[in-house]
Amino acid sequence: ELVCSNSFRSDDKEYNAVGLIHDEMRRAGSIIMRCADQHKVPAGGALAVDREGFSEAVTNALENHPLITMERGEIDGLPPEEWEQTIIATGPLTSGALADAIRKATGEESLAFFDAIAPIVYKDSIDFDKAWFQSRYDKGDGKDYINCPMYEDEYNRFIDALIEGEKTEFKEWEKDTPYFDGCLPIEVMAERGRETLRHGP
């Protein structure tokens, strides 16, 4: 969930399915939710965390858990068959040998890891004579998000720059992979229509 932002999405257990799952995980004693609550930052109705504090807390919890053994090192193959059930959770730094073993076990010709790039805007670059603090949907303490307004001509130039800007060229095997509509790259949203960014994907 935290791949491309610091948010676990809505924390509203009354009106949102994600918030309800958060509540159920808290009741079940989830380490992840406990660490998230300890490192929560203002985000309106969403649950957002300080990424460094959160990741450090999760690491410490796992390292000190009596039923978890952590081993750091390269994994170059699958566990022995007598283990019967194993979860392989790997990502973009998967070793070639492990990727080959997964391909062989699954019968897949290739494996892919897709990630989005989340742009970062530095606070000191924002003109607060024009921008203001306000929470989305007026949830939270009212200062959870920075809103940067644009005049219509500024908005249109922004859309043009997104559409015409340099983009990563997809490899042949990536070209037909569908996007997840709930988390689209901003330039893809712009390409879908000039008004899309005003209303969301």
- pLDDT tens string 44-66: 888 999 989 999 999 999 999 99
pLDDT at 157: 96
pLDDT in the model for residue 182: 72
Whether residues 194 and 127 fall in one domain: yes
Q: What is the structure's pLDDT at 112?
A: 67
Q: What is the pTM of this model?
A: 0.67
Is the model's pLDDT at 201 over the cut of 70?
no
Residue 1 lies in a domain: no
Q: Which of 18, 35, 63 is the last residue of a domain?
A: 63
DSSP strands (E only) in 38-90: 40-41, 46-49
DSSP letter for each residue of 148-197: ----HHHHHHHHHHHHHS--PPPPGGGTTPPP-TTS--HHHHHHT-TTHH
| 2: in domain | no
Cβ atoms of 1 and 23 closer than 8 Å = no
Average pLDDT, integer, range 96-116: 81
**Amino acid 1: pLDDT:** 52
Q: Is 155 contained in some domain?
A: yes
Q: Give the mean model confidence (pLDDT) for residues 161-179.
A: 83
| 146 φ, ψ (degrees, to nearest 5) | -100, 125
